[in-house]
Structure 1
Amino acid sequence: MKKWAISALVYLFVIVGGYYVYASFSETESHNETNTAHDQEVEGNHGQEHEENADNHSGESEVTPSLEVENGELIITLKDLDGNPVSDLEVNHEKLLHLIVVSNNLKEYQHLHPQTNEPGVFKVPHSLPAGEYKAFVDIKPTGKTYEVTPIPFMVGEHHNEHEGDSLTVDTELTKEAGGHTVKLLPSSLKVNEDIQLTFDLGGEIPEQYLGALGHVVILDEKGENYIHVHPLDGNKPVFATKFKEPGVYKIWAEFKFNGQVFVYPYVVEIK
């Protein structure tokens, strides 16, 4: 009887012990497989993030614009990295090339549309007074990377007077031009926030201008960081943007009334 009981207990311990060994081994394998799958997922996410970052930071522009002032015209020349003319551009808001020109103190502003009759060369007459300016060539080259950067140039003799004036932040964001009053209502003036710039036109409905209800150009105080935004909705003067750095910025809003385009400038501080 005792021998039978001892044998039964030994057998039971063997079975139970074997089960625990198997369970422990299976759990370890499962844990390893889970970690492996997690590592692969993390690695895949990092790869995807890297690809997205690569897309967002395309590196060196493959098109270089230059500007010359000659015989009352602004002449824009587009070349690729090998010095060849670039003429294959996508139509962007009804134009191949938008040229934004501002004076160094950001008081003078013009939105021009040069025309081309030879590969990579665009020309437009100008009425700029003598002074120092920056030009921003806004294009979409087909199949090439491009980033808008300021091109400094001068009209007439050099004048330093008032060139260093700093911008004064507006205390009231209501502007009038051509008998039309436009009020800017920003959803926020904070850095790194998705901001909606809503323009109150006093019940007026502007005409379509270059395929949109309006256009907004933004520059930082130094005239280096260029932002060109269009309405979120085709029927409402609401624009979306984001400021990546704090500081003082100037906003030019363009609306067309009765066949004429008017510009409404605002100076805001982003904190």
Structure 2
Amino acid sequence: MHTGVKITAFAAALAATFGTAYGVGKGVDPVVGPVVAPAAHGGHAAAPDAAAAASGPGGLQVSEAGYTLALEPSALTAGAPGELRFAITDAHGRKVTAYEREHGKELHLILASRDLTVYRHLHPARGADGTWSAPVELPKAGDYRAFADFTPAGPAGAKGLTLGADLAVAGAYRPAALPAPSRVAEVDGYRVELRGTPVPGRPSELTLRVTRDGAPVTDLQPYLGAYGHLVALRAGDLAYLHVHPHEGPAGPEVSFTATAPSSGAYRLFLDFRHEGKVRTAAFTVHAH
């Protein structure tokens, strides 16, 4: 995923969509000091401008700027280990093998169910021929959306992209309603409280406070160059935003600036790392 609930992408290409990032926390282990937010790209948040506003939300298109997210046929079954394989192809159908690294990775992959009840942030491996693969086990059948967040290698200032493609998972399927709005998420004994509300068309502050057993967590660990990653998915079409937090201490609060592209319901997913393990806290919010 890229910079700034980096909750990768409405940003430079998507600042008009859901976010405006101002910086990241600290560098990837070992912590060596503040990380300066890179130039905006793809669906990552950055300072808004006219071009960004015109580009729209990320993840809604399978092809953009001559690049395509090509999922290979897969037989994923709910509750069973599987493998997802895909490639990014250029305008000539060739698999892309050269990428800029963003937060320690050439490409970030997000999977989310259409009903927004399942979310996975995966780290695929790239083969020499440009084919990416990632092991995955999804708990329920149904329709999913895969998001690839990357910047092709090229001249300085190359545009980052977030492409999306549909994925079906076999099994008995019962659609679920969008989880009810909540300001508190519980995960593995951690309590994460969300403060702030996204506002359509205007930057707003979102702060997430992490506690465990009633005590504030003040020793969050860097994960991909930041103390938290926030991905926002709009209910209905799964328009995608990924931003990173403002520079700050290692908890208990992690803050982001985000601009919702429209009114409506959003599902926010905060990834944070503590005691060597990454956990995800999820919230449903309404931008209004």
- Quickly name the TM-score band, shorter chain normalised: 0.7 to 0.9
- 1:48-78 CA distance string (max 9 Å, x none): xxxx645765794222111232582100211
Matched residue, 1:250: 267
- Aligned counterparts of 2:52 and 2:201: Cα–Cα separation in 1: 20
For the pair 1:232 / 2:242, whether they are aligned, the reply is: no
Matched residue, 2:149: 138
- 1:23-66 CA distance string (max 9 Å, x none): xxxxxxxxxxxxxxxxxxxxxxxxxxxxx645765794222111
From the superposition, tell whether residues 146 and 64 of structure 1 become closer, same or farther in structure 2 (CA, over 3 Å): farther
For the pair 1:122 / 2:132, whether they are aligned, the reply is: yes
The amino acid across from 1:91 in the alignment is: R
Which of 159, 167, 170 is matched with 1:153 structurally?
167
Structure (1 or 2) with the greater helix fraction = 1
Q: Is the 8 A contact 1:134 1:153 kept in 2?
A: yes
Aligned-residue sequence identity (percent) comes to 32
TM-score (structure 2 length as normaliser): 0.69
The amino acid across from 1:266 in the alignment is: F
- Aligned counterparts of 1:213 and 1:254: Cα–Cα separation in 2: 9
- 1:67-97 CA distance string (max 9 Å, x none): 2325821002110011111111111111111
TM-score (structure 1 length as normaliser): 0.73
- Aligned counterparts of 1:183 and 1:266: Cα–Cα separation in 2: 9
- Aligned counterparts of 2:102 and 2:122: Cα–Cα separation in 1: 14
Q: Is the 8 A contact 2:99 2:153 kept in 1?
A: yes
Structure 2 unmatched runs, 5+: 1-48, 57-63, 77-81
Per the TM alignment, residue 210 of structure 1 is displaced from its structure 2 partner at its CA by 1.1
Per the TM alignment, residue 183 of structure 1 is displaced from its structure 2 partner at its CA by 0.5
The amino acid across from 1:250 in the alignment is: R
Which of 210, 234, 258 is matched with 1:201 structurally?
210
Per the TM alignment, residue 247 of structure 1 is displaced from its structure 2 partner at its CA by 0.4
From the superposition, tell whether residues 254 and 64 of structure 1 become closer, same or farther in structure 2 (CA, over 3 Å): same
Q: Secondary structure at the match of 1:149?
A: strand
The amino acid across from 1:161 in the alignment is: R
The amino acid across from 2:101 in the alignment is: V
For the pair 1:64 / 2:81, whether they are aligned, the reply is: no
The amino acid across from 2:145 in the alignment is: K
Structure with higher RCO (Cα < 8 A, 6+ apart): 2
The amino acid across from 2:228 in the alignment is: G
- Aligned counterparts of 1:89 and 1:120: Cα–Cα separation in 2: 10
Per the TM alignment, residue 122 of structure 1 is displaced from its structure 2 partner at its CA by 0.7
For the pair 1:110 / 2:120, whether they are aligned, the reply is: yes
Q: Secondary structure at the match of 1:150?
A: strand
Q: Secondary structure at the match of 1:189?
A: coil
RMSD of equivalent CA atoms: 2.2
Q: Is the 8 A contact 1:106 1:223 kept in 2?
A: no
Which of 178, 190, 195 is matched with 1:180 structurally?
190
Q: Is the 8 A contact 1:149 1:224 kept in 2?
A: no
- Aligned counterparts of 2:134 and 2:240: Cα–Cα separation in 1: 21
Q: Is the 8 A contact 2:111 2:147 kept in 1?
A: yes
For the pair 1:190 / 2:194, whether they are aligned, the reply is: no
- 1:195-234 CA distance string (max 9 Å, x none): 1111112321311111110110000002431000101114
Q: Is the 8 A contact 2:85 2:134 kept in 1?
A: yes
Matched residue, 2:43: none
